[in-house]
Structure 1
Amino acid sequence: MQTTLVDAFSVFTYLNIIDFFDAHLLSAIQAFIQENPKGYFTIIGDPGMGKSAILAKYVQDSGCIAHFNVQLQGTNRADQFLESICKQLVNRCQLPYDPLPSNTTQDGDFLGQLLNEVSQRRNGKPVVIAVDALDEVDPTSYRDANILYLPPHLPEGVYFIMTRRRGVEVPFTTYAPVQIFNLLDYQVNSQHDVRMYIENRVDNSEKLRQQIDERQETILVFTDKIADKSENNFMYLRYVLQDIEKGLYKDLNLESFPQGLQGYYDFHWRRMGMTTNPLPDAKIKIVCILGEVKQPVSRQQICDFSGEDTRTVQTVLNEWEQFLHELIKDEQKRYSFYHASFRDFLHRKDILDKTGLTIPGIHSLIAKDQLKKWRNRRRE
């Protein structure tokens, strides 16, 4: 959990959306806790609006217990959530469960027991648990129950602060008070935060100011144009301002820049030659595999899944570096896409139809390699 929190908080610092958080969301959370004896408070919004970053800021400020689901890093199963939250509750309240019972991750029974015990020891203070990205939870990891085995009944003084994407429904029934906070209801505030973010990036980057000068734009006009193109999406700003700072796309005036996050993905897809005739089948296959793997994978694993050589795979990793999250595990670099919204882009019908690939076909490539390795291990 800690690594994910650090990553999410670094995004928050990068986005610089403190004004919105302090003025609206924090007060809404505080009011919910003050006005209800217990309950579930859910923040919803579109990909790239900063839900994880906002929640990370809340965790940082409040010191509450937290769990961040990250589909593309493989930390999105119910058993991982139960183990993480139960360990934190035990440590926080010094409860006599070390090690945790063997049934901790089987269902929500032990979590419910802990919450009852914590409620009795809270001394009038609220017990707050933050859970990020319900929409990224593996639906096969819980059985005929609430998502992540979240308890339908909560004891007094226990509150969950959660996030999920707009339009994604999750199995969740509760008899506790519920409140939804929709970031889309605060577009005026988001516009202010977007402008503040752009201005902050320009102020702190001589390279970016130089690129703006070369484009013969004033900072005010540049801010207006990029803010309009972003559709109030901070992930869009992260990518586009980074590109401009590097001196990319000098052949494009700002009016010709892509509109919105999905537009940017489509733009980069074409710029990387993924729509040429003939199609670069090997590169497309490698990118799609990166989008479908359940956890970060090494370059060699990508080679094994795709059947492509190391040089081809490394070329793709270099070309798509800005979209990738890189970590070191077992002394090897491992890769996954930075944001689940790019996986959504790869799932678009118009993208897949042109490639001749299918998502089940990609899954089959991965499964065949895993089965082959399993059989080889059995023979050893």
Structure 2
Amino acid sequence: MSAVTWSLGPGAIGAGRDLTIGGPVTIRVVQGSFDRLADAIFDVEELADQLDVARFQGRTDFIGKIDQYIATHDRGYTLIRGEAGVGKSALAAHLVWTRPCAYHFTRVGAGARIPVEARKNLAAQLIGAWDLAGQFAPDDTFPIGAARPDWLGKVLRAAARQRDTFSPGAPLVLVVDGLDEAEPDPPGMDTGVPLGLPAPDSLPPGVFVVATSRLGPPLDRFQDGSQGWFTLNVDDASNRQDMHDYLTRLLTGPHPDSQLVRLLDEQQITSAAFTATLLDRCAGVWLYLQYVLADIRAGRRSPTDVASLPVGLRTYYMQQIRERWAVDHHWKRLRRPTLALIAALQRPATATELAELACVDRDDVAAWLEGDLRAFLDVTRPWPRTYTMRHQSLRDLFTPTRTQVDHDDGGLGDELHYAILTAHSTLTDHFIPAGDPARRAWTDDYTRTHLPHHAAYAGRLDDLVQDPEFLLACQPDGILRHRHRLTTPAGTAAVDAYEQALDDINRYPEDAPTWWLHIWARKTRATTLADNAAHHTPRPWTIHTAMWTGTTHRTLALHTSTVLALAVLSLPDGRTLLASAGNDHTVQLWDPATGQPVPCLTGHTGTVTALAVLSLPDGPTLLASAGNDHTVRLWNPATGQPGPTLTGHTAPVNALAVLPLPDGPTLLASASDDHTVRLWDPATGQAGPTLTGHTDWVRALAILPLPDGPTLLASAGNDHTVRLWDPATGQAGLTLTGHTGWVTALAVLPLPDGRTLLASASADHTVRLWDPATGQPGPTLTGHTDWVRALAVLPLPDRPTLLASAGNDRTILVWAPDFE
């Protein structure tokens, strides 16, 4: 189909089709207007050379799919995913250079990975293009609210209205490259899309986002195929064909690369043979191809050496380091530390700066940067030249994930990881202002933005967060997103206090910020921070400020309604996740260490009432959810992918329980308002026996592993009974009667003598104990004056197990149960 005509408004000017001298569509900044807004726009001119946009070849299939999606949808995202180096950035740059759009590249410029800076970049372009400065930035500055994700949404809606006036029917497109490289959003600022971009259903009509990302990062908002998920595969035939066409054009086209042609002629290598060999070694990875071509042009590699190249980009990097860089006698003293500093720094640096940081000779560093390392760096043209890592994939060598660890690398991976930790320590020392700690001048923008990052990796963040000036100078999201790297109780308490104080600091701007830091540090028992803040706070305490005595860790805010269920998942890869569910029909997964949300599990059409975790033998860890839509749903929490939906209940499902049977499968039990308990095989999704006997809603389930006996299932509900079942056979066991009201909760208590008791809580204001082996009732625990709704077992070291109960009387009673 023909290309869709995009629009970016009357304030934008096109660069034309002459890609060798042109640039992207840009914002025309009128003199005296938008000056400070323009500062927020990242300059992408250098991408033209870095990505060889002038010789961009192919990708017609993907561009056609993008156009088709935009032409046939009202709004939404097109996400292009692929392995590192397959040409995603080149495709994004091609779109930016040839079509009017707002754009953001996370690889361009210091701060480009920071969500708030990315959103400001996009907003500034839209404001300039659609003449919105009077509405959003009358003084040429961003308002305080610009830091919030919803502010970009407001700008988008205003731009869309202008588009409807000036270019009705034309799509308004944002191109965003490198979602996988975005830094996490601070707590409470997440939208489900990296960089805090609007969720697909929040985009105004006629607004589209074309985004790229490497494979792997969880992007939960893109689980729905209708939102357009296109993947670039390195083994894809069209990708290899595009690379073949590019090399053919480069070597035999109307404007060939004369230097490469000459080098091939000197070695008597035909362009066809060279192309075939290079295609085989690069395996569709464009970045690998560009590295090799740059090496050949610079004389660092002979065209005859192409056949000896390893397969795979990571393997190529490791070979490059091991066989070419590390054999140099300057490797440990100069080359390795300089390379690690470039990897650690979040902005370009000059040779002089790198030499000073590494404590080595400046000329030696310059020779290394302009020699063997040059092909792997992005270098600015103006003097003084600055250097930064060309691609994130090389930086990834220094911090490998579990799946990237190469146990046959001869220790090189560990060596690089130690080198970058040392670099972070060096940078931490460098960016901490000199002088008296009480009078430091935290004025450098890079320091305020990135020092928490360097300090966290250097193991120094625990100390710095005790300094109120550091906390108040640095960007809050920079500190909070690294809190999971804190290693001491004092550091954790200080950041807890800081997080709580931020709200009051913003709410009461007339107060000194150190006053609120002092208040919350005292409240959260962050003693060191409190003492340090007190030096800046002569104001006395009041009763009001001293009232709160609790301790907080963090707030996880993403649900839009009441949260009813929680579960903890231990995944096979070592991660621990928290699952939450409630009235907004969703199950949200969280990383409790960072506070960041991971995939949001959608599919329920009603309130989600219960969660359960299933660790299957020789299988994945699954998450089960149940709700008012009468269904039980299974999920793979590691990937966010849905599993089977278990149907059969005819009313809301209230409770779930996992039954690991001895010498048998793991079953899942569900209890419902339809008066039944159903058993399921979660490995297959097949239904098992339906347990009938209750005469009213079933509210609670519990698993009873009896000593020297079978594992029983207990259920309870509105018919005032507790019923026992043999889940292996589906047969009913004992019915425990005695309650005079609805039974709301169950708990299992192991006794010191090896026996197991069952506890039940009821609307009759009592807790009852039972011997499940005999059905005999034990003591009735009285003391509550209203419904009892919850039970919990408290196993204490070297002491009898306790039972806690809570209910509508606003009390928690703790019992030492004695069945005798």
Q: String of CA shifts for 1:228-274, please: whole Å, max 9, x gaps.
A: 11111111111212322344334964321232322332232234331
Tell which deviates more after alignment, 102-111 or 342-351: 342-351
Query: Aligned partners of 1:327, 1:32: CA distance in 2, in Å?
Result: 37
Residue 27 of structure 1 is aligned with which of 64, 89, 92? 64
1:201 and 1:84, CA in 2 relative to 1: closer, same or farther beyond 3 A? same
Match of residue 43 from structure 1:
80
1:33 and 1:141, CA in 2 relative to 1: closer, same or farther beyond 3 A? same
The aligned amino acid for 2:240 is: Q
Match of residue 197 from structure 1:
246
Higher strand share: 2
**In the alignment, does 2:267 pair up with 1:215?**
yes
Shift of 1:196: 1.5
Shift of 1:92: 1.8
Contact 2:81–2:231 (CA<8 Å) still a contact in 1? yes
**Corresponding residue SS for 1:6:** coil
Shift of 1:104: 4.3
Match of residue 159 from structure 1:
208
Q: String of CA shifts for 1:308-363, please: whole Å, max 9, x gaps.
A: 2323322322331222212268x632210111121123334543324572533321
Structural mapping, 1:123-202, within 5 Å: 123-139=168-184, 143-146=188-191, 147-152=194-199, 153-170=202-219, 172=221, 178-184=227-233, 187-202=236-251
Match of residue 107 from structure 1:
148
Query: Aligned partners of 1:333, 1:18: CA distance in 2, in Å?
Result: 30
Contact 1:33–1:159 (CA<8 Å) still a contact in 2? yes
1:193 and 1:364, CA in 2 relative to 1: closer, same or farther beyond 3 A? same
Q: String of CA shifts for 1:163-202, please: whole Å, max 9, x gaps.
A: 1111122575899952111011881111111111222222
Report the TM-score when normalising by structure 2. 0.42
1:125 and 1:289, CA in 2 relative to 1: closer, same or farther beyond 3 A? same
1:114 and 1:72, CA in 2 relative to 1: closer, same or farther beyond 3 A? closer
Match of residue 89 from structure 2:
52
Shift of 1:157: 1.2
**Corresponding residue SS for 1:139:** coil
The aligned amino acid for 2:80 is: I
Shift of 1:304: 3.3
Shift of 1:294: 0.6
Tell which deviates more after alignment, 154-163 or 118-127: 118-127
Contact 1:39–1:158 (CA<8 Å) still a contact in 2? yes
Query: Aligned partners of 2:90, 2:58: CA distance in 1, in Å?
Result: 13
Tell which deviates more after alignment, 295-304 or 29-38: 295-304
Query: Aligned partners of 1:215, 1:237: CA distance in 2, in Å?
Result: 19
Residue 389 of structure 2 is aligned with which of 319, 324, 337? 337
**In the alignment, does 2:142 pair up with 1:93?**
no
Residue 118 of structure 1 is aligned with which of 138, 148, 159? 159
Match of residue 258 from structure 1:
310
**In the alignment, does 2:347 pair up with 1:302?**
no
Tell which deviates more after alignment, 26-35 or 357-366: 357-366
Structural mapping, 1:284-303, within 5 Å: 284-303=336-355
1:76 and 1:62, CA in 2 relative to 1: closer, same or farther beyond 3 A? same
Contact 1:72–1:338 (CA<8 Å) still a contact in 2? no
The aligned amino acid for 2:82 is: G
Sequence identity percentage: 23
Shift of 1:213: 3.4
**Corresponding residue SS for 1:5:** coil
Tell which deviates more after alignment, 40-49 or 104-113: 104-113
Higher helix share: 1
**Corresponding residue SS for 1:290:** helix
Shift of 1:37: 1.0
Shift of 1:160: 0.9
Match of residue 421 from structure 2:
360
Match of residue 84 from structure 1:
121
Contact 1:289–1:302 (CA<8 Å) still a contact in 2? yes
Shift of 1:305: 2.6
Match of residue 640 from structure 2:
none
Residue 378 of structure 2 is aligned with which of 325, 345, 354? 325
**Corresponding residue SS for 1:272:** helix
**In the alignment, does 2:398 pair up with 1:346?**
yes
Match of residue 461 from structure 2:
none
Q: String of CA shifts for 1:136-155, please: whole Å, max 9, x gaps.
A: 21225675403222122122
Query: Aligned partners of 1:280, 1:344: CA distance in 2, in Å?
Result: 20
Shift of 1:61: 2.3
Query: Aligned partners of 1:176, 1:239: CA distance in 2, in Å?
Result: 35
**Corresponding residue SS for 2:385:** strand
**Corresponding residue SS for 1:19:** coil
* Count of matched residue pairs: 377
**Corresponding residue SS for 1:258:** coil
Contact 2:354–2:365 (CA<8 Å) still a contact in 1? yes
The aligned amino acid for 2:287 is: M
Contact 2:264–2:270 (CA<8 Å) still a contact in 1? yes
Higher RCO structure, 1 or 2 (CA under 8 Å, sep 6+): 1
1:89 and 1:247, CA in 2 relative to 1: closer, same or farther beyond 3 A? closer
1:295 and 1:74, CA in 2 relative to 1: closer, same or farther beyond 3 A? farther
Q: String of CA shifts for 1:74-124, please: whole Å, max 9, x gaps.
A: 422122212211122222222223335412432112211122222333223
**Corresponding residue SS for 2:147:** coil
Query: Aligned partners of 2:54, 2:323: CA distance in 1, in Å?
Result: 26
Contact 1:39–1:178 (CA<8 Å) still a contact in 2? yes
1:105 and 1:213, CA in 2 relative to 1: closer, same or farther beyond 3 A? same
Match of residue 6 from structure 1:
45
Query: Aligned partners of 1:302, 1:277: CA distance in 2, in Å?
Result: 19
Tell which deviates more after alignment, 84-93 or 198-207: 198-207
